[in-house]
Structure 1
Amino acid sequence: MIEIKNIHKEFDGKVVLNGVDGCFQKGKINMVIGGSGTGKSVLLKCMIGILKPEHGQVLYDGRDFVTASNDTIKSIRREMGVLFQGGALFDSKTVLENVRFPLDILTQQSLEEKNERALICLQRVGLEAAASQMPSDISGGMKKRVGIARAIVMNPKYLFCDEPNSGLDPLTAVKIDLLIEEITKEFNITTVVISHDMNSVLRMGEYVVFLKDGKKLWEGSNKTLMATDVPALQEFLSTKLH
């Protein structure tokens, strides 16, 4: 479980996150939604340690990532998997080498062990046949699947996905959604998805946080989302679903 409490973040005096909190459950698809510039990506960066909030806590099973010692921070980071927007693959590395990369920098395993684990993860996303290919040789949807394989190669407890469907056609987007959902359930991961794709949110958002101007204005599930009486959320939904 991941808890965020009273997260504040600002840049040059401009408040980007203003007292955001939430509780992201293990084994569930937890989603953060909102329009452009509402603080979604900044919140994600605060949660994974790229940015440090001015105030607040990010608790990983009770461990505060914001104030933790360097050893605890390293320990928590080893428990994270991140699917970056666009895949963020290394162009100069093969698909297998991209998936293996976290093992190369974070473990002392032999090359044989690392390759075996990377291949297992590629098999899980249906891409073992592409192991020797370069990122430039595969499609956008395949790149996302490679990114997912890399994100799970360390057997993470926490999985973060930043706009996993951006740039994908609707059919491929559904496949990526299903893969993220399957992996979350299969490995009982705490998954946090930043998304603007309302089809994804309505399909798999078991816990949803809506941000507007850096504040949390609503939280609930995909089952209660459409019945909201929050005007800002109603307006957001109307622009995304019509």
Structure 2
Amino acid sequence: MIEIKNIVKSFGDKEVLKGVSCILRQGETNLIIGGSGTGKSVLLKCIIGLIKPDEGAILYNDRDFYNSSLEVQQSIRREMGVLFQGGALFDSQTVHQNIQFPLDMLTTMSEADKRERVEFCLQRVGLEGTGKRMPSEISGGMKKRVGIARAIVMNPKYLFCDEPNSGLDPLTAVKIDELIKEITQEYNITTLVITHDMNSVMEIGENIIFLHSGHKLWEGDNQTLMHSDVAELNEFIFANKLLRDLRS
């Protein structure tokens, strides 16, 4: 579980996050949604330690990330897996080498154990036999799967996915959503997905936080989302539906 307490973050005179609080529950797909510029990415960066909030606290299973020793912070970081928006694969490395990278950097595992772990992760995301390929030789959906495999190779307790469906066709996006949900439940991970994709929200949104202008305006699940009386959320839902209709 991750507890986010009254997070405030400004850049110059622009206040981006205005006292955001929520709980990300273990074993569930937690989603943060909202339009562009609402503070989603800044909140994610605060949660994973890339940006320090001006006020508030981030607690990982009761460990206060920003008020802990460097040793505790490093321990928490080793428990994180991150799927970046663009995949962030190393173009000069094979699929296998990309997935093995965290093991090389952060563990003392033998080469044989590393290979076994990488092959297991490739199998788990449905990419058996692709380890020798280069990123330029695989599709966008496969790159996202490689990114997921790399994110889980260290057996993380916390999985963070930044716009995992960005640039994917609808069918591939659904498969990525299903994979994220399966892994979350199978390994009982605390998963956070940053998205503006309403298809993802309705498919895997077990715990949804809606941000607008730096405030948390609504929190609930995909069963109660459509019955919200929050005008900004209803506008966000309608705009996404209209965009999908125009594209279809």
TM-score range, shorter chain: over 0.9
Q: How far is 1:116 from its partner?
A: 1.1
Residue identity in the other structure for 1:181:
K
**1:146 corresponds to which residue?**
146
The 3-state SS of whatever aligns with 2:222 is: coil
Aligned length: 242
Q: How far is 1:110 from its partner?
A: 1.3
Residues 54-86 of structure 1, C-alpha deviation per residue, up to 9 Å, x if partnerless?
Answer: 000100000011111110011001111000001
Alignment of 1:25-44 (within 5 A): 25-44=25-44
Distance 1:134 1:12 in 2: 42
**1:209 corresponds to which residue?**
209
Gaps of 5+ in 1: none
**1:15 corresponds to which residue?**
15
**2:231 corresponds to which residue?**
231
**1:83 corresponds to which residue?**
83
Alignment of 1:169-184 (within 5 A): 169-184=169-184
TM-score normalized by structure 2? 0.97
Distance 1:110 1:165 in 2: 34
Distance 1:64 1:92 in 2: 37
Residue identity in the other structure for 1:177:
D
**2:167 corresponds to which residue?**
167
Alignment of 1:40-119 (within 5 A): 40-119=40-119
Residue identity in the other structure for 1:89:
L
Residues 164-196 of structure 1, C-alpha deviation per residue, up to 9 Å, x if partnerless?
Answer: 000000000000000001000100000000001
The 3-state SS of whatever aligns with 2:51 is: coil
Higher mean Cα deviation, 160-169 or 7-16?
A: 7-16
Alignment of 1:120-159 (within 5 A): 120-159=120-159
Q: How far is 1:29 from its partner?
A: 0.4
The 3-state SS of whatever aligns with 2:154 is: coil
Residue identity in the other structure for 1:78:
R
Residues 118-155 of structure 1, C-alpha deviation per residue, up to 9 Å, x if partnerless?
Answer: 11101100112110000011000000000000000000
Moved over 2 A (4+): none
TM-score normalized by structure 1? 0.99
The 3-state SS of whatever aligns with 1:161 is: strand
Distance 1:87 1:8 in 2: 28
The 3-state SS of whatever aligns with 2:23 is: strand
Q: How far is 1:38 from its partner?
A: 0.4
The 3-state SS of whatever aligns with 1:101 is: helix
The 3-state SS of whatever aligns with 1:149 is: helix
Residues 187-237 of structure 1, C-alpha deviation per residue, up to 9 Å, x if partnerless?
Answer: 000000000100110111000000001110000111100000001111111
Distance 1:68 1:96 in 2: 35
Residue identity in the other structure for 1:154:
M
RMSD between aligned residues: 0.6
The 3-state SS of whatever aligns with 1:241 is: helix
Residue identity in the other structure for 2:35:
G
